[in-house]
A and B are shown apart, each in its own frame.
Chain A
Amino acid sequence: MSDFEPKIVAFFCNWCTYGAADLAGVSRLDYPPNFRVVRLPCTGRLNPKFIMEAFKRGADGVWISGCHPGDCHYIAGNYHARRKFVLMHQLLESIGVDPNRLRFSWISSAEANKFQAMARDVVEHVKACGPNTTFRKEDLKLGLAEVA
């Protein structure tokens, strides 16, 4: 699986982690190009369905990142997000998706280095999980054929 390049959907809040990614750019800190960012006003805007949608459409990983506890621009949105994350983390396991595909982090807009390190770490972890085949019809069929 060494040549496997995962596709990851990232959800960043506008105020902290999106800012950290901006600063990583200003500081020219390179990291793997495997994820695509959906900008949200707040991680509190993250509907659990977005995570499911990403996996359903074949994302190999999902990364959610917002402000540190206490730093939320909207007072407490990141706490709401954390609760949803914990729920989704457990739910994924029960439907057969490796929960390691889903990551949650807190990165402030000044932490470009942390952003770079986390970006690398997320990609590496998802790589280790291999391609996400849970929702692919052809793989499902193959699985059934093997059983039969």
Chain B
Amino acid sequence: MASHNVVGAVLVAGGGVAGMQAALDLANAGYYVYMVEKSLAIGGRMSQLDKTFPTNDCSMCIISPKLVEVGRHINVELLTLTDILSINGTEGNFTVTVRKNPRYIDMSKCIACGECTKKCPSKVSNNYNENLDNRKAIYVQYAQAVPLKYGIDAEKCLKLTKGKCGSCKKVCPADAVNYDDKPEEATFKVGSVILAPGFAPYKPSDFETYRYSDSKDVITALEFERYLGATGPTMGEVVRPSDGHHPTKMAFLQCVGSRDINRADNGYCSSVCCMYAIKEALIAKEHSGGKLDVSIFYMDIRTFGKDFERYYEKAKAAGIKFIRSRVHTVRPEPKNGVKIGYVGDGGVASEDYFDLAVLSHGLVITPDTKALSENLGIQTDHYNFAKTSTFAPVALSRPGFYGCGVYTGPKDIPSSVMEASAAAAAATSKLTPARSTLTKVINVPAPVDVTGEPPRVGVFVCRCGINIASVVDVEKVVEFAKTLPFVEYAAVTMFACSQDSQEKIVSLIKEYRLNRIVVSACSPRTHEPLFQETLAAAGLNKYLYEMANIRNHDSWVHANNPVEATRKAMDMTEMAVAKAALLVPLKENVIDVDPTALVIGGGVAGLNAALTLSSQGFKSVIVEKEQRSGGNANRIHSTTKGEDVAKYLESLKNKVLDDPKITLVLGSEVDKVEGYVGNFATTLTTGETVKHGVTIIATGAKEHKPTEYLYGQNNKVVTQLEFDEMIKSDDDAVRNSKTFVFVQCVGSREPERMYCSKVCCGHTAHTAVELKKKNPGARIFVLYRDMRTYAQKEDLYKEARDLGVIFVRYTLENKPKFSEADGKIKVEILDPVSGLRLLINPDMAILAAAIVSGRETELAMKYKVPLDEDGWFFEAHQKLRPVDFATDGMFLAGIAHYPKPMDEVIAQAQAAAARAVTVLTQPKMTVGGIVAEINQAKCSGCGVCVAVCPFSAISLDEKGKSVVNEAMCKGCGNCASSCRSDAPSLRGFTNAGLFAQIASAL
């Protein structure tokens, strides 16, 4: 592949959370992105969720800033309602052919006012709400959809199916409806392809057992999620579908369509259902004021992620019952509810009544996605997930193709987001010669300096077709605006956001020498950036702009009271003018970015992060405190996929040593840290100072030293890592042993370490299978609490059982008892299934010792990043920013974040590098705008602002006065409202401006 032939664009297929993250990381790193989405809008499955575990964050609230960012990004081209037909060519240079299906709406004209939907007579089952209510044939996918443009469901539209109706075209104030819209084919060139087509929830209709098809009170978890959602069919009210009453007793049935090869052919674990069931149970309980009785029927509770185990404990404490049993019968009761039959421990059969049964259905690859994989030549596993290797976790079988999200295996949101960033890095590792060749930049004229001029305010009052004007007397608002101080010009516009209005505003700014602009229209949350661009196009500083939301906050909600609505619009316009008159141009400064990374920790995570950065053309320095690199991986024998770790590690280390862009400093640690994003200076204990623009923390973790089960007393009792080392060295003790006992959760999931170490169950199942394969006569026992072989690792658990490995469950209260007689180990355990006490005499016992954090308090303080209570480094956001710190320029990878298997470690390392590249790729960074500033004359140096700043952006200078680092300030204003002396001020939201707004409001 000739490097000069590569294309600086990437195709991202799928607009869910994974696709969006990949698109943003690519576009912010200098690549043009084509985002292809089958449906009307991006957002994917996450947009359907009410809350997200384990923080119970509102899903829509956290995803919508991302939606808007993707929708507005100048280098992301959104192709909605689009199918991929073919992708030809080779790595670095592909030709993509797509079909754009008709929307029947001119996106450039639609203003999303919703008049069409009101008039549409055709009711259609609403798939966004899992078909629990109806929408119209002309619709938006959901209220916050991006692009916020209507579309027509061609199969249900009366005009398109029968040639009748045509109401929407008649009422559309923007003339956006086009019934003659036709499918169009398009081709474009890209250098690589990222596939993130997502999943569908398993449809439990095939399961006669669960009576989903014929009982109203048996619903799926995603349906229940919609019932919980504020935008759902009952607006968040939990009801029993058969009669609309509030349920008092409900059940969740786990593993529906997962871990099941009898009915579903899905042998894998869907990885997310235990957590979402607990989440839905907790939220339902909250909605019911705590009165709801909830039971969860499960096989193993798999709460293996960060903070998941505590979430599980919280649910138990909240009274949610966990019943370990696979339900055998669901029997609908004559009127409402169901009877559930199950067999509990000890073989006791029970039956219980529930008002509502929720089926925790798994994640499956859709037939469409399967066909896409086949069409594109992507190898998949026997469950139709795309195949990947542990060491290249986002690379697909076809060169130049990368995958992320559930496409490569069932996983939750943060893992999908990590993989998405990793895919962005991997997909561009060979495209660097073409970086920034296809991206667009916005050209703005040189700004006019209006400093010192008296304010000349222009007011534009939008009719929004009839959306505002049918309620608010817009002429009256304009006449009123003309009487306000500093207003030079005021007028009505039909659609302020339309292209012609924008151009008109630009010429009026020039004609009237307007230096402040107020637009009374819709929400600044959606439209402020657009109007700010208009100001910039006219040479005005974009911060000389204020908006009055007389549509969403006025005409749309006071339609029955036009007089008051008009009065409110006048007040709102007056408030905006008052604030606008006091606005000043805000400067955005540029700072240099040192294009080097410092990677702390030379394990698999650190080495991969550095190599990924190098492939993107950036230098890094790795600092490793030990005398050798490789970290814990030096001790691991093989991965759960059977790959040889030693061989991999050797080639990884060699690549790093051979890479001229990477400097590896062994036997050294961080001593002193100065600076901030773009300009860090870190002094190492070896004395040298590294200048770097970003920092990646990958300090790893260590294996817990067990204090039980004869560990340290009998040399045949070893930890998992010690056992791996013995396998690697072909130790006689392993070869000569006939009976092995594996004990899971040694030190994990206990009060002092209330988390799951995530890797042990998979590794144990893998090791047991390997031992059995080598020596079929070996007797192997695995003593466990819950087997957590999530995702495709469930296959290993099944294989182990098939090979004759005996799994015996124990509880925290009833741990296995180890004793020793004549050097022989004796293990006693109560089998809960048979109720019998088992005695095992193993030759070796292998303890799955917990992974414990390094609790790097000092390092955390030096870089101003937080640790959580278990000592893991704490990311900026557990769901959507899993590799970023809240402090700019700081990133995180590997098990310093939380225990995880090697494929996830490598994905996170690549992700951290991808995120770092979005900073390093800019030679200069723009800072400033809406940030805080300090009037040092008023500052007494008390430090309150330093303490309340969530981003460590304020510090005391050598005179003991506060200073703001504009590169780190995010503009929240906590400092400005906490100072006793009003020394800090938030630009754009000054006290004076806000006081003026308050005064005009009254």
Chain B contacts for A110, CB-based, 8 A = 50, 58-61, 229-231
Given contacts A41-B972, A71-B57, A110-B230, contact A47 B977 (CB under 8 A): yes
A residues touching B (Cβ–Cβ < 8 Å)? Answer: 7, 9, 14-16, 18-19, 21-31, 33, 36-42, 44-50, 53-54, 57-59, 67-68, 70-71, 73-77, 80, 84, 108-114
Q: List 13 A-B contacts (CB under 8 A).
A: A14-B524, A16-B61, A19-B525, A23-B143, A36-B572, A36-B1001, A39-B524, A45-B974, A45-B977, A45-B986, A73-B972, A80-B974, A108-B58
- Report yes or no: B989 in contact with A30, Cβ–Cβ below 8 A: no
- Report yes or no: B523 in contact with A44, Cβ–Cβ below 8 A: no
CA distance A67 to B61 in the complex (A): 9
Given contacts A41-B986, A45-B977, contact A70 B57 (CB under 8 A): yes
Partner of B558, one of A7, A15, A33, A76: A33
Q: Which residue of A lies closest to B877 (CB)?
A: A75
Q: Is residue B685 contacting chain A, with contact meaning CB distance below 8 A?
A: no
CA distance A59 to B235 in the complex (A): 33
- Report yes or no: B61 in contact with A108, Cβ–Cβ below 8 A: yes
Q: Nearest-CB distance from B956 to chain A (Å)?
A: 20
Q: Which residue of B lies closest to A7 (CB)?
A: B1002
CA distance A23 to B230 in the complex (A): 11
CA distance A31 to B561 in the complex (A): 10
- Report yes or no: B553 in contact with A58, Cβ–Cβ below 8 A: no
Given contacts A36-B1001, A39-B524, A74-B974, contact A24 B61 (CB under 8 A): no
User: Chain B 543-585 against A: per-residue CB contact (8 Å), 1 yes, 0 no?
Assistant: 0000001011110111111001101100110010000000000
Chain B contacts for A67, CB-based, 8 A = 61
CA distance A36 to B553 in the complex (A): 9
- Report yes or no: A36 in contact with B568, Cβ–Cβ below 8 A: yes
B 943-978 contacts with A by CB, 8 A: 948, 950-951, 970-974, 976-978
- Report yes or no: B557 in contact with A50, Cβ–Cβ below 8 A: no
Q: Is residue B144 contacting chain A, with contact meaning CB distance below 8 A?
A: yes
Chain A contacts for B64, CB-based, 8 A = 19, 109
Q: Is residue B886 contacting chain A, with contact meaning CB distance below 8 A?
A: yes
Q: Which of A9, A19, A25, A67 has the most CB of B within 10 A?
A: A25
User: Chain B 896-939 against A: per-residue CB contact (8 Å), 1 yes, 0 no?
Assistant: 00000000000000000000000000000000001000000000
Chain B contacts for A68, CB-based, 8 A = 58
B 806-840 contacts with A by CB, 8 A: none
Q: Which of B5-13, B313-321, B991-999 contacts A (4 or more CB under 8 A)?
A: B991-999
Q: Is residue B857 contacting chain A, with contact meaning CB distance below 8 A?
A: no
- Nearest 4 interchain pairs by C-beta: A45-B973, A25-B552, A74-B972, A36-B1001
- Report yes or no: A38 in contact with B1001, Cβ–Cβ below 8 A: yes
- Report yes or no: A54 in contact with B144, Cβ–Cβ below 8 A: no
CA distance A68 to B971 in the complex (A): 19
Q: Which residue of B lies closest to A60 (CB)?
A: B1002
Given contacts A22-B525, A54-B998, contact A112 B231 (CB under 8 A): yes
Q: Is residue B88 contacting chain A, with contact meaning CB distance below 8 A?
A: no
Q: Which of B50, B58, B568, B971 has the most CB of A within 10 A?
A: B58
Chain B contacts for A75, CB-based, 8 A = 886, 950-951
Q: Which of B143, B231, B557 has the most CB of A within 10 A?
A: B557
CA distance A134 to B646 in the complex (A): 78
B residues touching A (Cβ–Cβ < 8 Å)? Answer: 50, 55-62, 64-65, 114, 143-144, 229-231, 235-236, 523-526, 549, 551-554, 556-561, 564-565, 567-568, 571-572, 575, 886, 930, 948, 950-951, 970-974, 976-978, 986, 989, 991, 994-995, 997-999, 1001-1002
- Report yes or no: A24 in contact with B557, Cβ–Cβ below 8 A: yes
Q: Which of A15, A33, A49, A84 has the most CB of B within 10 A?
A: A33
- Report yes or no: B560 in contact with A109, Cβ–Cβ below 8 A: no
Chain B contacts for A16, CB-based, 8 A = 58, 61
Q: Nearest-CB distance from B236 to chain A (Å)?
A: 7
- Report yes or no: B230 in contact with A25, Cβ–Cβ below 8 A: no
Given contacts A19-B525, A41-B973, contact A31 B998 (CB under 8 A): no
CA distance A68 to B989 in the complex (A): 22
A38-B994, A59-B998, A80-B977 given; 13 more Cβ-contact pairs under 8 Å: A21-B552, A25-B551, A28-B559, A40-B994, A45-B972, A53-B995, A58-B1002, A59-B1002, A71-B62, A74-B951, A77-B973, A109-B60, A110-B59
Q: Nearest-CB distance from B296 to chain A (Å)?
A: 24
Q: Which of B525, B571, B971, B999 has the most CB of A within 10 A?
A: B525
Given contacts A41-B973, A42-B974, A80-B948, contact A30 B61 (CB under 8 A): no
- Report yes or no: B998 in contact with A22, Cβ–Cβ below 8 A: no
- Report yes or no: B553 in contact with A37, Cβ–Cβ below 8 A: yes
- Report yes or no: A50 in contact with B994, Cβ–Cβ below 8 A: yes
Partner of A27, one of B143, B971, B974, B995: B143
Q: Nearest-CB distance from A68 to chain B (Å)?
A: 7
Chain B contacts for A54, CB-based, 8 A = 998, 1001-1002
Chain B contacts for A46, CB-based, 8 A = 977
Q: Nearest-CB distance from A106 to chain B (Å)?
A: 10
Q: Which residue of A lies closest to B977 (CB)?
A: A47
Chain A contacts for B553, CB-based, 8 A = 21-22, 25, 37
Chain A contacts for B999, CB-based, 8 A = 53, 57
Q: Nearest-CB distance from B208 to chain A (Å)?
A: 36
Chain A contacts for B65, CB-based, 8 A = 15, 73
- Report yes or no: B58 in contact with A22, Cβ–Cβ below 8 A: no
Partner of B556, one of A7, A26, A109: A26
Chain A contacts for B1001, CB-based, 8 A = 7, 9, 36, 38, 54, 59
CA distance A75 to B50 in the complex (A): 20
CA distance A40 to B57 in the complex (A): 21
Q: Which residue of A lies closest to B997 (CB)?
A: A38
- Report yes or no: B55 in contact with A9, Cβ–Cβ below 8 A: no
Given contacts A19-B61, A23-B143, A50-B994, contact A36 B971 (CB under 8 A): no
- Report yes or no: A45 in contact with B991, Cβ–Cβ below 8 A: no
- Report yes or no: B950 in contact with A9, Cβ–Cβ below 8 A: no
CA distance A13 to B114 in the complex (A): 26
- Report yes or no: B575 in contact with A36, Cβ–Cβ below 8 A: yes
Q: Nearest-CB distance from B376 to chain A (Å)?
A: 36
Q: Which residue of B lies closest to A47 (CB)?
A: B977
- Report yes or no: B235 in contact with A113, Cβ–Cβ below 8 A: yes
Chain B contacts for A112, CB-based, 8 A = 230-231
Chain B contacts for A25, CB-based, 8 A = 523, 549, 551-554, 556-557
- Report yes or no: B61 in contact with A44, Cβ–Cβ below 8 A: no
- Report yes or no: B559 in contact with A40, Cβ–Cβ below 8 A: no
Chain A contacts for B231, CB-based, 8 A = 23, 27, 110, 112
Chain B contacts for A19, CB-based, 8 A = 61, 64, 525
CA distance A130 to B986 in the complex (A): 35
Q: Which of A23, A24, A68, A112 has the most CB of B within 10 A?
A: A23
Chain A contacts for B971, CB-based, 8 A = 41
- Report yes or no: A42 in contact with B972, Cβ–Cβ below 8 A: yes
CA distance A14 to B61 in the complex (A): 11
CA distance A50 to B973 in the complex (A): 13
- Report yes or no: A44 in contact with B556, Cβ–Cβ below 8 A: no
CA distance A59 to B558 in the complex (A): 21
- Report yes or no: A45 in contact with B989, Cβ–Cβ below 8 A: yes
Chain B contacts for A76, CB-based, 8 A = 950
Chain A contacts for B525, CB-based, 8 A = 14, 18-19, 22
- Report yes or no: A28 in contact with B976, Cβ–Cβ below 8 A: no
Q: Which residue of A lies closest to B237 (CB)?
A: A113
CA distance A49 to B990 in the complex (A): 13
Q: Nearest-CB distance from B886 to chain A (Å)?
A: 6
Q: Nearest-CB distance from B739 to chain A (Å)?
A: 49
Chain B contacts for A14, CB-based, 8 A = 524-525
Chain A contacts for B230, CB-based, 8 A = 108, 110-114
CA distance A62 to B654 in the complex (A): 65
Given contacts A44-B972, A47-B977, A110-B230, contact A28 B556 (CB under 8 A): yes
Chain A contacts for B62, CB-based, 8 A = 71
CA distance A19 to B978 in the complex (A): 25
Partner of A22, one of B523, B575, B886, B950: B523
Q: Nearest-CB distance from A15 to chain B (Å)?
A: 7
